[in-house]
Amino acid sequence: MAKAAILMPYPDLKNIFDTLIGNYPRLTPMTVEYVETEKVAETAASLARQGCELIIARGLQARLIRSAVEIPVIEMRASTQELETLVLDLKAKIPNREGAVPRLAIIGFFNMFHNTERFNSLLNVDLKIYTATDIDQYTGLVMQAASDGCLGVIGGEVVMNQAASLGLASSFLSMGGESAQEALEAASLVGYSIDLMKRSHAEISAMLDNTAYAIAQVDESGAIRLANRAFCQLTGRKLQDIVGLPANSLITDLSPDDLRDVLSDAREIEAAVVTLGHRTVLLSMMPVLLENRVSGAILSFQESTRVSEMDSTLRKETARQGQVAQYTFDQIYAGNPGFQQTIAQLKRLSRYTVPILLQGESGTGKGYLAQCVHNESLRRDGVFVTLDCSTSHPDDLDEKLFGRYSSRKDGDLSAVDLARGGTLYIRQVELLSLETQYKVFQLTRGRYRSNGSNIPLSVDIRLVLSTEANLPQKVREGTFRKDLFYVLNALRMDIPPLRARREDIPSWFGAILSDTCHVIGRQVHLTDEAYAVLSDYSWPGNLDQMAALCVRLVLLSEKRSISADMLLHHLQEMASEQSIAAGDSPDRVMNPRAQELLDLLTRFHGNREKAAAELGISKTTLWRRMKKYGIARDLSMD
């Protein structure tokens, strides 16, 4: 039964309600009392704090109460029959003029009357309704009624006193048993709804209090409205002490931006590592939508030994192993329009948990971009775990990804275990066995079956993968699964090599050189001519080759200012060493322009005419260049 209070501006109304309230079993009366208008808001607020669930009031008092409390307020109105009786009584007080239709007025608050549209025809009167929003308006409304030709008015004491001073007939706007009965019937219906809500709330509370997750509800301002037992236990506080507090005052590390995104833009936050009551938990936030408007959010917290250990021991261990994402998109140099578009697409995809495939040559920065995706995502506070498939035998990769078949010891966790709540970056995915590829395919669907277990489990992991291979060719050869290919290829991002985005080469080289100088503790710099050479070079090894060159320059350059000739010399030395290691002739490796010319001639199968046309030079000029770089005899072009 709903706890109800009835607050009346006149003592006689109290007596009526005292008589009728017992007929409405869905209402439990907390109080039925006469209250002065000046004190009604304070009284209502006090009752609400004591557990009152609805209030019946009249006129100005109802309006004041509504602004003071958030519980339902039932407004008592004069019934149609009562108004009809009052109009006829007032009409009888006016001298009868044969054939004349008396003009009468009803003056009161807008929420005190039912519809009177048919009174004129039924009662043979000309009835005017004057409504007020403040009691101070009554005097003016009486004068307005008199000016409009009204011969009598119906209203409260203020209205009757003013009417008397103007010589107008008047009747007191009383409300009797019928009005009280209508108000109680309306309150009873509201009480029934409240009972249903309380029952539903009790059932939901019982269910939530018996879950292992801590759950809280916040309103649109981010203040706590409800919380279950697990949440109270984690915070070490009672529910009554929590309600009304800002969520970020209880949840350490709660990102104001994340909470604002949920409450303003209806975004879902799937997993963030935060601290609640000195314990590390995973937080998920879900907006509550009411008629397409965010009215608050549900916050759920997963607290477990594994999560706590991950935030201390495991996070330290992954940091020691370099498994922490350090790079953001702001640190990626993208002057090339095509690469700029790739970065924009990656930023957009980062906000979702879909798997992303980064495809490109070795050293194009796929690892950097994977870290950027993680740090741009909602999992930025989680771990970033890298598995490089090129460093292990395919048979060992399955164990590294999904664990051993035997029971695992403490701390001996798989890459999937480590990456829960964060991002797992699988480098060179094409090296996985077909069996492991199937498990990765299941992982893209959020399902995980650890080795030695027949029970599939749900897993909260963001997947980013990379490859240097031609996956369609691998599929045709039968060494890469079609189902995994189709999933990954849907959101494949092709990362262009440095030679395809030469605008970015100087910036990348400057940043890598600066970092190398800082680590080694020796400062060198390139001349403008040397930077021009950088942009002309093809960089077959991309960023890996660039980083190796920077180390060589810092350690072996005799001068701190590196000229174009010095840079070419080091490039030639590195290229010659790499070529000899690969079994090529060292004569073929000369300088960056020689390598580009060699690549061009190889593409045209030694056809000098086509190569010259591609370069926009004559065959004679081409021949001179070939002799200069020692290329002609190697290709046997006659």
Structure tokens at 437: 């590829």
| 310 DSSP 8-state letter | I
Topology annotation, domain 309-496? Rossmann fold (3.40.50)
CA-to-CA separations, 8 to 33, 40, 623, in angstroms, rounded: 6, 9, 109
Find tokens 């495809």 and name the residue: 359
DSSP secondary structure letter of residue 223: B
Question: What band does 445 get if pLDDT is binned at 50, 70 and 90?
Answer: confident
SS3 state of residue 56: strand
* pLDDT for the residue numbered 585: 41
Residue 163 is predicted with a pLDDT of: 94
C-alpha 64 chain-centroid distance: 38
Name the pLDDT band for 254 (thresholds 50, 70, 90): confident
Residue 288 has pLDDT above 80, yes or no: yes
Beta bridge partners of 64: none
Given pLDDT bands bounded at 50, 70 and 90, which one contains residue 397? confident
Q: Select from 74, 9, 2, 1 the least CA-distant residue to 43.
A: 9
What pLDDT score was predicted for residue 140?
93
Query: How far apart, in Å, are the Cα atoms of 469 and each of 358, 427, 430, 540, 613?
Result: 11, 11, 7, 16, 32
The residue written with tokens 């001519």 in the block is: 529
Q: What pLDDT sits at residue 351?
A: 86
Burial class (CB within 10 angstroms; exposed 0-12, middle 13-18, buried 19+) of 119 = buried
pTM for the predicted model, two decimal places: 0.44
Query: What's at 504, amino acid-wise?
Result: D
Q: In angstroms, rounded to a whole number, what is the distance separating the alpha carbons of residues 315 and 418? A: 9
Residue 508: alpha-carbon gap to chain centroid: 33
- Say whether domain 2-77+179-189 belongs to CATH 3.40.50.2300: yes
pLDDT confidence of residue 586: 39
pLDDT value of position 303: 55
Please report how many Cα atoms fall inside a 13 Å half-sphere around the Cα of residue 418, on the Cβ side.
Answer: 26
DSSP bridge partners of 296: 219, 288
Strand order from edge to edge, sheet including 423-427: 384-388, 423-427, 462-467, 356-359, 492-494
Cα–Cα dist 143/127, whole Å = 16
What does the pLDDT read at residue 635?
Answer: 46
> pLDDT confidence of 148, banded at 50, 70, 90?
very high
Helix residue ranges per DSSP H, 214-328: 229-235, 239-242, 256-265, 305-309, 315-320
Most confident of the ranges 264-278, 434-448, 566-580: 434-448
Higher pLDDT, 316 or 216: 216
Query: CA-to-CA distance for 4 and 581, rounded, in angstroms?
Result: 91
pLDDT at 143: 95
| Rounded Cα distance, 563 and 96, in Å | 117
Would you state the pLDDT for residue 271? 63
Element (H, E) at 47: helix 40-49
Q: What is the per-residue pLDDT for 226?
A: 86
Q: Which class would CATH give 80-174?
A: alpha beta
Residue at 515: amino acid letter: D
Question: For residue 549, which phi and psi values (nearest 5 degrees)?
Answer: -65, -40
User: Which pLDDT tens digit goes with each residue over 529-574?
Assistant: 888 888 888 888 888 888 888 888 888 888 888 888 888 888 877 7
Q: Any idea which of 126-130, 276-280, 345-349, 363-367 has the lowest mean pLDDT? A: 276-280
* pLDDT of amino acid 577: 52
Backbone angles phi, psi at 360, to 5 degrees: 175, 170
Beta strands in 303-395 (DSSP E): 356-359, 384-388
pLDDT tens by residue, 300-332? 887 544 444 444 444 444 444 445 677 888 878
Per-residue pLDDT for 152 more than 90? yes
- Provide CB contacts within 8 A for 608, sequence distance 6+: 601, 619, 622, 623, 626, 637
| pLDDT tens, residue by residue, 83-93 | 889 999 999 99
Does the domain made of 499-635 have the CATH classification 1.10.8.60?
A: yes
Please state the separation of Cα 487 from the chain's center in Å.
25
Same fold: 80-174 with 499-635: no
User: For 567-609, how does the pLDDT look when each residue is reduced to its tens digit (9 = 90+)?
Assistant: 888 887 776 555 434 444 434 444 556 767 777 777 777 777 7
Rounded to whole angstroms, the Cα distance separating 108 from 82 reads: 15
Q: Where are the domains of the chain?
A: 2-77+179-189, 80-174, 213-303, 309-496, 499-635
pLDDT at position 582, please? 42
DSSP strand pairing (293-302 vs 447-448) = unpaired
82 or 578, higher pLDDT? 82
CATH superfamily, domain at 213-303: PAS domain (3.30.450.20)
DSSP 311: I
**Would you say residue 154 has pLDDT above 90?**
yes
DSSP helix/strand/coil, 521 = coil
pLDDT of residue 65: 92
pLDDT at 205 over 80: no
Q: What is the CA radius of gyration of the chain?
A: 41
One-letter amino acid for residue 52 of the chain: C
pLDDT, tens only, 461-491: 889 999 988 999 999 999 999 998 998 988 8
Name the average pLDDT for the chain: 81
Average pLDDT over residues 219-239: 83
pLDDT at 164 over 90: yes
pLDDT tens figures, 371-392: 999 988 888 888 888 888 887 7
